[in-house]
Structure formats: C-alpha cells, structure tokens
Structure 1
Amino acid sequence: MTRLYIIRHGETVWNAETRAQGAKNIHLNEKGLLQAQALAKRMKNYPVDGVYSSDLDRALSTAQAVAREFSHEVNIIPELREMSFGHWEGLTNHEIQEKHYEHYTIWRNKPQEAQIPGAEKLIDVQSRGLKALHRIVEANPDKNIAVVSHGTAIKAILLGLMNIDLSYFYRIRQDNACINIVEFREYGPVIVRMNDTAHLENML
C-alpha cells in the first residue's frame, strides 16, 4: 500500500492579503516559513520515503523544509502547480468581485462551470493533478510519499479521488501547511485525514 501525505504550502503575503495567486510565483512570507518548519517537525512522526512538489516556490520551499528532515531531494512535478487564475491573478477577493462580478458569481456558485478570463478550468486542474498523483503512486509502490501542492489543486484532486463532483468544491477546506493523508489500497484510494493543522496550533 502506498501512502501519500498531500500537503498545502505555507502562507504567502498574497494569501494574507486574499490575492489570487494562481500561477504567479509568490514566495512564503515569514509566517509561511515558520509554518513550513512546524510542518517539517510534525512530519518526523511519519515515515517519508520521498518528497514531490509543484514547481512554484511557495510549494517548493515547503517541500524542501520537509525533505531536509529526511535528507531527501525534492522531485519537482509542474503538473502539481496551482490553477492558473488568468486575469484574476494579483487581485484581492474584493477587487475580483468588483471587476469580474459575473464570472465571480459563477465561480462561487458553480465552480465546475466557471471559465475565468484567461484561466484554466477547474476540471483541467483536477485532470492534470490526478494524473500526476497516479504517476507518483505507480513509481512508489508500498512507500510513504509527501506531495506538496496548492489549495485549489488539492481540493480538486481530493474530490476526484472520492469520485465527488466538482460542484462540491467549497465543501472542502485546505488551510496553509495542512496535511491530508491518502492510502492507495487494492480497492482504491482512502482518505485517512484531511486538512490537519494540529502542528500549527501554537502559532495561532
């Protein structure tokens, strides 16, 4: 059985400002670096045979913090990167509502149907994410692997693993530096833990 620890990256300045990051390469802020360190210490409680990451720096820095605890190298997979939010990238949530109200309304109510100007569709993010995940599982039979990605991408992936429609996108929450544990058993993937942030409790 292969076990994946699917992890969201630590906080960035744009996270704190509620700006859409998407494919923009935004770094961890001071809090995010501390979150990554706390996450790395937490991961020492688990066996980790390998570490994979999105190619965006906020995920890569988080993955490197974990990898250092186990003396692993980070395997970079661009398909794990965040959904491209097109014309929304760099805008705050409030600015998006003001400037793109119609598309924002669809995104919030029917995310599976949203076509944000210049952006990816959620179904395409899910598709590339699931393919990347299954490649990791196939390459690491009976191993324990940490995979660092992004909030929107992870939510889409988790829904896909459970065969739940993307219309339920907002029923899942993914906080910065959270851990999700998925076991790939003979009969399919099993979600063992979701959005676990116990390692950050002393930072609140």
Structure 2
Amino acid sequence: MSRLYLIRHGETIWNRERKTQGIKNVSLSETGKLQAKYLAKRLKKENIDFIYSSDLSRAYKTAEIVGNHIGKSVQILPEIREMNFGDWEGLTLNEIDKKFHDIYNQWNHTPHLAKIPGGETLIQVQERAIKVVNRIIKKNPNKNIVMISHGTTIKTIIFYLLDIDLSYYKKIKQDNTAINIIDFKKEYNVLVKLNDTCHLLNLK
C-alpha cells in the first residue's frame, strides 16, 4: 500500500497580508520557516521514502527544510504548483470583490464554474495535478511519498482521489503546513488525515 502525504507550504508574507497568491513567487515568512521546521520534526517519525515539491519557492523552501531534516532530497514537480489566479494575484479578497464582483460571487458559490480573468479553472488545475500524482504513485508502490504543494491544488487532488465533485471546493480548509494523508489501497483510496496541524501546537 502506498501512502501519500499532501502538505501545504509554510506561511508566506502574502498569507499574512491576506493577499491572493497563485503562480507568483512569494517567500516564506519567518513564521513559515519555523512551521516548516516543526513539520520536519513530525515527518521524521513517518519513514518517508520520497519528497516532491511544487516548483514555486514557498513550497520548495518548505520541502527543502523537511528534506534536510530527514535526509531526503527534493524532486520538483511543476504540475503541482498553485492555481494561476490571473488578475486576482496580489489582491486582497476585498479588492477582488470590488473589482471583479460577479466572478468573485461565482467563485464563492459555484467555484467549479468560475473562470478567473487570466487564470486557470479548478478542473484545469485538477487535471494537470492528478496526472502526475497517479504517475508517481504507480511508479513507487508501497512507499511513503510526500508532496508539498498549495491549498487549491491540494484540494483538487483530494477531491479527485475521493470521488468528490469540485463544486464542494469551498467545504474544506487547508492551513499552512497542514498534513493530509491518503492511503492507496487495492480496492479504493482512504483519507486518513485532513488539514492536520497538530505539529504546530507548541508554536501557537
């Protein structure tokens, strides 16, 4: 049985400022780096075989901190980078609501149908991400695999693996360095953990 650890990157400066970040490269904040260190300590107990990361710096830096701590190299997968939020990137939610009210309203109520100007749709993100996830899982049977990615991308992967429609996108949350665990059994996939941030309890 293969086990997939889907993990969101640590906090960034834009997370703290509540700005929308997609494919823009935004650095980890000092808190984000500390979160990654706590994550690394947690994963050291998990017998991890491989670490993969999005090519965006906030994910790669998180993965690098983990890899250095547990003695594993990081392999880059551009396909699991964050959703391209197009014209929304760098804007706060209030700014998006003012400038793109109708589309923002659709994003909040029927996100699977929303087409953000200059960006991707949820289905496009899911299709590019799940293709590489399935390839990695098939290539590495009976291994514990870490993938450090981004909130939106992670949610689309989880929904696909659990046969959940993307219309439910808003129904789950992904915090910084949250761990999601999915077991790939012969008959079906099993969600073992969702948005687990217990490793950050001493940080709060």
TM-score interval, smaller chain: over 0.9
Please show how residues 54-93 of structure 1 align to structure 2 within 5 Å: 54-93=54-93
* 8 Å Cα contact 2:40-2:70 kept in structure 1: no
Deviation string, structure 1 residues 119-168 (Cα, Å, up to 9, x no partner): 00100101111111111101211110111000010011111111111110
Query: Equivalents in 2 of 1:194, 1:100: separation in Å?
Result: 31
By how many angstroms is 1:169 displaced?
A: 0.5
- Show the 5 A alignment for 1:4-19: 4-19=4-19
Q: Could you say which residue in structure 1 is the equivalent of 2:29?
A: 29
SS in 2 for 1:14: helix
Matches within 5 A, 1:117-196: 117-196=117-196
How much does 1:70 deviate? 2.4
Work out whether residues 23 and 82 of structure 2, in 8 Å CA contact, stay in contact via their aligned partners in 1: yes
4+ residue segments displaced more than 4 Å: none
Shift of 1:69: 2.1
Q: CA deviation at 1:16?
A: 0.9
1:62 & 1:90 partners in 2: Cα distance? 21
Answer yes or no: is the 8 Å Cα contact 2:22–2:89 preserved in 1: yes
2:197 is equivalent to residue 197 of structure 1? yes
Post-superposition offset of 1:79: 0.3
**Separation in 2, partners of 1:72, 1:173:** 28
2:116 is paired with a residue whose SS is coil
User: How far did residue 64 of structure 1 move?
Assistant: 0.9
Aligned equivalents of 2:136 and 2:70: distance in 1?
18
Superposed displacement of residue 68, structure 1: 1.2
* CA deviation vs aligned residue, 1:146-194 (integer Å, no higher than 9, x gap): 1100001001111111111111001111000010111111012211111
Amino acid at match of 2:27: H
Alignment size in residue pairs = 204
Partner of 1:102 in structure 2? 102
Letter in 2 for 1:177: T
- Give the whole-Å Cα distance in 2 for the aligned partners of 1:66 and 1:34: 11
User: 2-side partners of 1:13 and 1:97: how far apart?
Assistant: 21
SS at match of 2:180: strand
2:121 and 2:132 mapped to 1: Cα distance?
17
Report the residue type matching 1:25 in the other structure.
Answer: N
Give the aligned residue type for 1:183: D
Segments of 5+ residues of structure 1 without an aligned counterpart are: none
C-alpha distance in 1 between matches for 2:117 and 2:51:
34
| Contact 2:83–2:125 (Cα < 8 Å) also in 1 | yes
TM-score (norm 2): 0.98
Residue identity over aligned pairs, in percent, reads 52
RMSD: 0.8
